[in-house]
Amino acid sequence: MQFQSSDIKAMDSRRRAAFINSVSGFKSANLVGTVNAKGQSNLAIMSSAVHLGSNPPLLALIIRPSSEEHQTLANILDSGCYSLNHVSASMVEQGHQTAAKYPEAISEFDATGLSPAWHSDFGAPMVAEASIKLGLTLREHHELEINGTNLVIGEVVLADVPSGCVGEDGALDLVSADTVALTGLDTYCRAATFKRMAYAKPHLAPQVLWDSSAQ
Ligand SMILES: Cc1cc2nc3c(=O)[nH]c(=O)nc-3n(C[C@H](O)[C@H](O)[C@H](O)COP(=O)(O)O)c2cc1C
């Protein structure tokens, strides 16, 4: 089945959103924790976290334009910091519910029953139930001309991860952390590791480091 540009444009908006939201492949599911100047906490699920570079350690988010003010964006721009908390399988229902448009005075922590966790040296709330919690400071914000979305670039200044998840080479074992993957805006998937590959070099054939079928 092939879809041309004209087919995509002709889809009704919900169908097109579901289609285009899943074409990029599996995505991460993170809860973005922020606080406003009045001290009200906010939590919102986002699937757009992307790695920009490791030195400095940068992650980007795409925050959509909205007719009403996006509390997450306003809080990040105001406070200069935010947390990213991996959604694990046991938190999917509460995490998904943070997408609901609650009024500013209602914290998604209270509405969903997820618990705020504060680190003494970091200014935004993390999610106590999340096994992987990151603290970021805002480095750049750009409103993109093409569609009015906001590119928010943050530097990772704090990473709170279970010690058992950190591999010998430093990579996190997200499967053992029970971190889920997302397709589209509503489908949560469990990951299963089946292969690890060596660093690719032009003069070497692909080298399998580990294969679950060989265990
Ligand atoms: C699975 C999922 C992923 C989402 N990813 C994003 C995202 O990457 N960027 C975004 O702006 N909104 C995203 N949303 C929508 C926000 O969660 C939603 O607009 C939320 O109400 C924003 O909260 P706020 O108004 O408190 O900032 C996503 C929603 C769902 C259900």
pLDDT in tens, 133-172: 999 999 999 999 999 999 999 999 999 999 999 999 999 9
* pTM for this entry: 0.96
Q: Which CATH architecture has domain 26-214?
A: Roll (2.30)
Ligand 1 contact via 48 beta carbon (within 6 Å): yes
Cis bond before residue 56 (omega within 30° of 0): yes
Using CA atoms, how far apart are residues 180 and 171, in angstroms rounded to an integer? 17
Pocket test for ligand 1, best of 24, 27, 64 (most atoms within 8 A of CB): 64
Q: What is the pLDDT of residues 84-128, one digit of tens each?
A: 999 999 999 999 999 999 998 899 999 999 999 999 999 999 999
Whether 17 is in the pocket of ligand 1, judged by its Cβ within 6 Å, is: no
Q: Where are the domains of the chain?
A: 26-214
